[in-house]
């Protein structure tokens, strides 16, 4: 069941998505009007999700700052810890070991596998979690699987190679720790938010019949979008679905040999800002010209939004990943450069080199 929108919320929704298909909006509005729900609940839900979005973005920013500091301070303990984390599940589960063997190798130093995968239902919350882990390989393992990667086994054994391996191990340990922290915190917070929503629902006069067996879906999944040689691009996605759908992405673009988090400048060169800005503006204009209902803040046919601040330029904090073709894909969150109904926006930067 969906929640009932108040009159004020319906007016706000109509204003935000004026380019949406009118008949679809009328059907949706009629559907919402026919479902009774306690007064005041919709406002609480919207406020809760908005606060969660701000909290997650700030948490993500702080985590990345902390990870940058930790990389400069860690020692060989990071490599030992990563190896221990790898060996424990491998020894405990024959099926896990077989799954690990089937994972494609990134290069000399690392591969990606599913550290945890589990599902359960608790208090009307359906949880489906996949936790990735980037696993360190030692020099001998790397020598056996690095054919075609451009790194010879002998090179790994010299001082420069050992320093690079150490840097990669430190980066990997930090990323693994960050991902695990994100997943554990998100799982706990999502369940708590739904429980609070449920309590308010009944506290404001809602009945079991009105509740109608509604549930909350909490999902975490990951995608390895690119892996070639020692470079890896991974996207972690958390999704929460109940009165509304909220998704948050975390992007990891790594060189596991050098221990470096890749930047747009690393991938596109010194003119990365100009390259990205030109490609993105051109694509926005192309999309608007080809699709009548397409709209971005500051662009489009609707005069109400032409003066709204929209996309201006990428920055060092702009999210991106590398796709299977090796191209950069610049990403913007929902509402960041376009109305919410258009969802997350992606722009592939082609012919940039």
Chain segment 220-237, per-residue pLDDT in tens: 999 999 998 889 999 999
| pLDDT on residue 298 | 84
On the CB side of 138, CA atoms within 13 Å amount to 7
Say if residues 131 and 114 touch (Cβ distance below 8 Å). Answer: yes
* Coil/strand/helix, residue 231: strand
Contacts of 303 (CB under 8 A, 6+ apart): none
pLDDT greater than 60 at residue 133: yes
Single out the residue of 193, 208, 294 nearest to residue 244, CA to CA.
193
Return the residue matching tokens 């930090």. 174
pLDDT interval class at 81 (50, 70, 90): very low
| pLDDT on residue 233 | 96
pLDDT greater than 60 at residue 175: yes
Q: Which residue has the higher pLDDT, 62 or 341?
A: 341
pLDDT > 90 fraction of the chain, expressed in percent and rounded:
42
pLDDT greater than 50 at residue 186: yes
pLDDT interval class at 242 (50, 70, 90): confident
The stretch 318-328 carries a mean pLDDT of: 97
Q: Which residue has the higher pLDDT, 40 or 210?
A: 210
| pLDDT on residue 244 | 77
The stretch 52-69 carries a mean pLDDT of: 56
Q: How many angstroms separate the first and last alpha carbons of the chain?
A: 50
- The model's pTM is 0.66
Q: Which residue has the higher pLDDT, 57 or 288?
A: 288
Say if residues 246 and 240 touch (Cβ distance below 8 Å). Answer: yes
| Structural element, H or E, at residue 89 | helix 77-92
pLDDT in tens, 291-319: 877 889 888 655 565 566 789 999 999 99
Q: Which domains does the chain have, with CATH numbers?
A: 41-262 (3.30.565.40), 268-349 (3.90.640.20)
User: Please, what is the average pLDDT of the chain?
Assistant: 74
Q: Which residue has the higher pLDDT, 146 or 159?
A: 159
Q: How far apart are CA 120 and CA 115, in angstroms?
A: 17
Say if residue 45 is exposed, middle or buried (CB neighbours under 10 Å; 0-12, 13-18, 19+).
Answer: buried
E strand spans, the chain: 110-122, 125-136, 216-228, 231-241, 245-255, 260-261, 319-322, 328-332, 345-349
Q: How far apart are CA 52 and CA 40, in angstroms?
A: 19
Phi first, then psi, for residue 178 (nearest 5°) are -65, -45
pLDDT > 70 fraction of the chain, expressed in percent and rounded:
57
pLDDT greater than 70 at residue 239: yes
Q: Which residue has the higher pLDDT, 91 or 317?
A: 317
Which residues are registered as beta bridge partners of 119? 128
pLDDT greater than 50 at residue 85: no
Lowest mean pLDDT among 94-108, 249-263, 271-285: 94-108
The stretch 241-250 carries a mean pLDDT of: 87
* Coil/strand/helix, residue 241: strand
pLDDT interval class at 148 (50, 70, 90): very low
């Amino acid at each position: 069941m969906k929640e009932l929108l108040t009159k004020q919320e319906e007016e706000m929704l109509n204003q935000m998505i004026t380019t949406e298909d009118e008949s679809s909006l009328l059907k949706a509005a009629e559907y919402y009007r026919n479902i009774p729900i306690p007064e005041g609940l919709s406002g609480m839900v919207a406020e809760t999700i908005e606060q969660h979005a701000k909290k997650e973005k700030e948490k993500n920013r702080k985590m990345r700052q902390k990870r940058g500091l930790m990389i400069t301070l860690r020692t060989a303990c990071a490599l030992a810890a990563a190896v221990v984390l790898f060996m424990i599940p491998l020894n405990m589960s024959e099926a896990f070991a077989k799954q690990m063997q089937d994972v494609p190798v990134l290069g000399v130093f690392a591969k990606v596998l599913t550290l945890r995968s589990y599902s359960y239902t608790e208090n009307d919350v359906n949880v489906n979690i996949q936790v990735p882990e980037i696993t360190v390989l030692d020099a001998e393992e790397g020598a056996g699987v690095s054919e075609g990667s451009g790194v010879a086994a002998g090179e790994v054994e010299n001082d420069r190679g050992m320093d690079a391996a150490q840097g990669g191990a430190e980066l990997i340990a930090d990323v693994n720790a960050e991902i695990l922290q994100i997943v554990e915190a998100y799982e706990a917070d999502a369940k708590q938010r739904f429980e609070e929503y449920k309590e308010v629902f009944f506290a404001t006069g809602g009945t079991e019949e009105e509740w109608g067996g509604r549930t909350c879906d909490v999902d975490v999944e990951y995608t390895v979008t690119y892996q070639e040689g020692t470079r890896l691009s991974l996207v972690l996605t958390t999704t929460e679905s109940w009165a509304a759908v909220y998704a948050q992405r975390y992007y990891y673009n790594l060189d596991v040999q050098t221990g470096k988090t890749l930047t747009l400048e690393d991938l596109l060169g010194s003119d990365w800002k100009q390259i990205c800005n030109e490609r993105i503006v051109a694509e926005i204009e192309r999309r608007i010209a080809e699709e009548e209902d397409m709209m971005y803040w500051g662009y489009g046919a609707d005069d109400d939004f032409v003066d709204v601040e929209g996309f201006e330029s990428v920055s060092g904090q702009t999210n991106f990943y590398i796709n299977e073709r090796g191209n950069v894909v610049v990403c913007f969150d929902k509402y960041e450069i376009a109305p919410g109904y258009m969802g997350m926006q992606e722009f592939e930067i082609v012919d940039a080199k």
